[in-house]
Structure 1
Amino acid sequence: MSGVQSLGYLVVRGPVEEWRKFGADVLGAEVTSDGENGIRLRIDEHAYRIVVEDGPAEGPASLKAIGWELASAVDLADLVETLEKANCDIREDVARARARNVRKLYTLTDPEGTQLELYYGPESDHTPFASSRGVRFVTGSMGAGHVFIFAKDAEKSAAFYIDLLGFKLTDTILVGEQDAIFLHCNPRHHSIALLNVPAHGIGHLMLEVETIADVGRAFDDAQKNSNVTMSIGEHTNDKMLSFYLPTPSGFDIEYGVNGRVLDENLTVAHYSQPSIWGHHRSPLAGK
């Protein structure tokens, strides 16, 4: 079975003008227009990786769609056939493919009701990516980063991503009394993680940069503006050195470096805590 290749993009809702400043000044993304009521954030040669639709901040519910990229038309057709045989309600959307600047796109929802967009052939921008902060992001065949999803039934959702979309289990971490489940579809340690949380939606989007200095500078700027959710720390499973900061939509960005890259010798593990050190929650978080 052909499966998903990488996390292609996110579509979120939030205050556009706040996102415009946040995307450029804090994240180091390149901001472009997305019609009359939205913007796009670019972090590599792709035309965009984040689409922001204008609207109120809704926290985890601000997530409107996850775009999962397939390598080719054949791979997409094979996956669509697999999903149809599993009686999934999957539909081609020509208008949305045109709006997203991809060759072909199908929509469906996962067991949690999250809107998924499966596609191939994303548009690449003919101009080099120019970060407003001089940052270079780690993307390429590993995709935009990873998403951490709050789910009512993480195990059921994980089974959907593994059995139907072609993901593989990387590992699990005990978070409180629940196991967070980490899944990969390429050498990035994980492209999606799932945890049982009543507030369904997105917990965070991880963006990886190339240098520790980039993380440090972003952390300093965020800290000066009391805009840090969790302090710098190192995760147990993917070894990411990172910190967390809130977006204008109310969910978090994990801004990190040196994430673990998987090889064929992966052994599925379980971890008793999320971080080796750091990642202390800010006293201002949630205020």
Structure 2
Amino acid sequence: MTTRPDVFGSVHLGYLVVETEKFTDWRRFGTDAIGMHHDDLSRDLMRFRLDDHACRFLLRRGPAEDVVALGWHLDDHTTFERIEARVRAHGVPAVAGTAEEAKLRGVERLLRFPGPKGIAQEIYTTPLTSSEPLRMRASGWVTGDSGMGHVAITSARPALMRGYFDTVFDARLTDYIDETIGGVKLKIRFLRVNERHHSIAVAAVQGLPIDPVRTRVQHVNIQAASLDDLARSYRRVHELGFDMALSVGQHTNDKELSYYARTPSGFEWEVGWNPLVIDESTWEPGTHQGISIWGHTPVGRTILDRLGQFRLGARSLLHPEKTVPALSGAGIPDD
């Protein structure tokens, strides 16, 4: 039996593409509140930077108010070709990005293919760097071998989603969290593709095939370089009048200190600091009860918000979640 080459460790979350009509609000949120570097490209395009990479967030004008693509930085062309071969071998269409699309994302050699919940997956090898000095309110952000952070996605088909990221990127299960929020029981699966505790988190309502979140992505995370950066951005979010979703707290599994703000598009934005780094030689998956050791208190949440979530969950039954069965296998059941 031939074992396929493993690409784990050679994959890193590199950028996100957001579609929005709220450019003015996003500019204030990303630059003045969170503290990232901002570049206007045109009336319909802008970018945020965290480091010397030319692009970490590409915002394009459109109605989705959501994350529409994830970009994955691969270590080399061999890894690129292995992943491309996997996708095509399963009969899934993969399209090379145009030179203009690659330039906007600050990358060379771009390939796009379908992903869960309609979020396009894009892979690339060489990121373009910028010599322009960073203009940021933050002292810096942690990227490097861990990638630029993580995304969390709610799903009514969590086994298929886990199967997808295993098939494409050889993702490994880090751990689980069992949590009850507003009387709803959730199981959250944390998947890693490198030393970062997780690059993808998949949250599902236990026992019910519903999705209580409007957006395809529930939250996006970036990692602050210092505790002072986290505290200062938390204060700026409040002072500038942006909604806070969860106050500062510490997670049970990766021990990250963080808070969650609401973006102008509606999904949440987590700024974190000091999560643990996985040691592959010793790590064993486990289950934690509750997302937080302390803090992460909901801010300004009312009964109307909870009713709205239940309505969204009920509505999701009428609109089946987009999956990519050919790349998901039979799905990976819980261990």
Q: Which runs of 4+ in 1 moved over 4 A?
A: 284-287
- Distance in 2 of aligned mates of 1:49 and 1:282: 28
Cα deviation, 1:107-127, whole Å, max 9, x if unaligned, reads 111243221111111111123
1:149–1:193 CA contact under 8 A, matched in 2: yes
SS state at 2:145 partner: helix
Q: Specify whether residues 111 and 219 from structure 1 end up closer, same or farther in structure 2 by C-alpha distance, changes over 3 A only.
A: closer
2:24 — aligned with what?
Answer: 17
The yes-or-no answer on 1:240 pairing with 2:256 is yes
Which of 201, 213, 237 is the aligned partner of 1:222? 237
Whole-angstrom CA distance in 2 between matches of 1:145 and 1:20 = 20
Deviation at 1:245, TM superposition (A): 0.4
Q: 138, 150, 153: which one pairs with 1:146?
A: 150
What are the within-5 Å matches in structure 2 for residues 85-104 of structure 1? 85-95=89-99, 96-104=101-109
Q: Does 1:251 align with 2:267?
A: yes
The answer as to 2:110 corresponding to 1:105 is yes
CA 1:112 to 1:268, structure 2 compared with 1: closer, same or farther past 3 Å?
same
Q: Distance in 2 between matches of 1:77 and 1:6?
A: 16
Q: Partner residue of 1:39?
A: 46
- Where does residue 140 of structure 2 map in the other structure? 136
Q: CA deviation at 1:226?
A: 5.8
Residues 43-95 of structure 1: CA deviation (Å, up to 9, x unaligned): 1110011111124573xxx1111111111112101111122222222222234
TM-score, structure 1 length as denominator? 0.92
Q: Which of the residues 111, 125, 128 maps onto 2:130? A: 125
| Number of residue pairs matched by the alignment | 283
Give the one of 280, 288, 295 matched to 1:271: 288
Q: Which runs of 5+ in 1 are unaligned?
A: none
Cα distance in 1, alignment partners of residues 93 and 112 from structure 2: 8
Contact 2:250/2:295 (<8 A) preserved: yes
Partners of 2:50 and 2:166 in 1: how far apart? 28
Deviations along 1:98-142, whole A, 9 cap, x unmatched?
Answer: 4323211111112432211111111111233331x1421111121
CA distance in 2, matches of 1:20, 1:226: 12
Letter in 2 for 1:51: L
Instruction: State the distance in 2 between where 1:134 and 1:7 align.
Output: 21
The answer to whether the 8 Å contact 1:232/1:242 transfers is: yes
Q: TM-score, normalised by structure 2?
A: 0.79
Farther off after superposition, 234-243 or 12-21: 12-21
SS in 2 for 1:161: helix
Residue of structure 2 in register with 1:51 after alignment = 58
Matches of 2:26 and 2:79 in 1, distance apart?
Answer: 34
State which of 169, 173, 179 in structure 1 corresponds to 2:177: 173
- For the 8 Å contact 1:162–1:169, the answer to whether it is kept is no
The DSSP-based 3-state class of the residue aligned with 1:280 is: coil
More deviation, 254-263/210-219:
210-219
Letter in 2 for 1:155: A
Of 225, 229, 232, 1:210 maps to: 225
Distance in 2 (CA, whole Å) between partners of 1:47 and 1:20 is 17
Query: More deviation in 99-108 or 73-82?
Result: 99-108
Q: CA deviation at 1:218?
A: 1.6
- Percent of paired sites with the same residue: 31
Query: Which residue identity lines up with residue 48 of structure 1 in the other structure?
Result: C
SS at the partner of 1:104?
Answer: coil
- Further displaced range: 240-249 or 107-116: 107-116
Which residue number in structure 1 is paired with residue 81 of structure 2?
Answer: 77
Q: Deviation digits for residues 259-280 of structure 1, max 9, x if unmatched? A: 1111121111111211111101
Higher strand share: 1
The CA RMSD over aligned residues, in Å, is 1.9
